[in-house]
A and B are shown apart, each in its own frame.
Chain A
């Protein structure tokens, strides 16, 4: 089955700086790579996703890149704001999602 590794487990950045979270996956059949944001006590919510026929996707301050050859994908958040503080999960799938262990992003004022 699929195995997703996510790094780092905790990331602290100054407000206004950029944050990068990286994931690798093992199953070359995976073709959909979503990123979810989960605030404390809340449900995971999709913030951006990318499919295997695309190398990069951007939505305002958030971007995701995918390297299918190397089997890794990354989340980039620019101009970080306090409300970006949360746990971020990457996932990979052909059907059911396999999640990474999560990155706790802390935005320092």
Chain B
């Protein structure tokens, strides 16, 4: 298995533009998590899905952020409009069940908003 796949790996955009980050979880995993990592705030859970259903989105910073999981093999995190303070590394992770089990992280997307 290739592991969790994220794209793009790097994204540079201008303030006000829409940004879409993509994630393909490990095949067979039914939980998917989106995290944001910054020096100031560390690793923050934004939202997680279990069997394609959003379970907890309390970590989503504001309405500019939205996430979808249309099927078991694909998820998107969208920021519209983007702001410079959204600059961070965004990680997607997946695990086998919705309960507490090892989460496997993707390589991350480094987002820079100018």
Contacts and interface: CB of A to CB of B under 8 A. Distances in A.
Contact of B56 (A32, A34, A51, A96): A96
Interface stretch (B69-77, B78-86, B101-109): B101-109
Given A43-B91, A44-B91, A97 B102 contact: no
B42 A95 contact: no
A97 B44 CA distance: 9
24 contacts: A34-B103, A42-B107, A43-B91, A43-B107, A43-B108, A44-B43, A44-B91, A44-B105, A45-B105, A46-B102, A46-B104, A89-B43, A93-B100, A94-B100, A95-B100, A96-B33, A96-B59, A97-B33, A97-B45, A98-B45, A99-B43, A100-B42, A101-B42, A102-B43
Contacts, number: 50
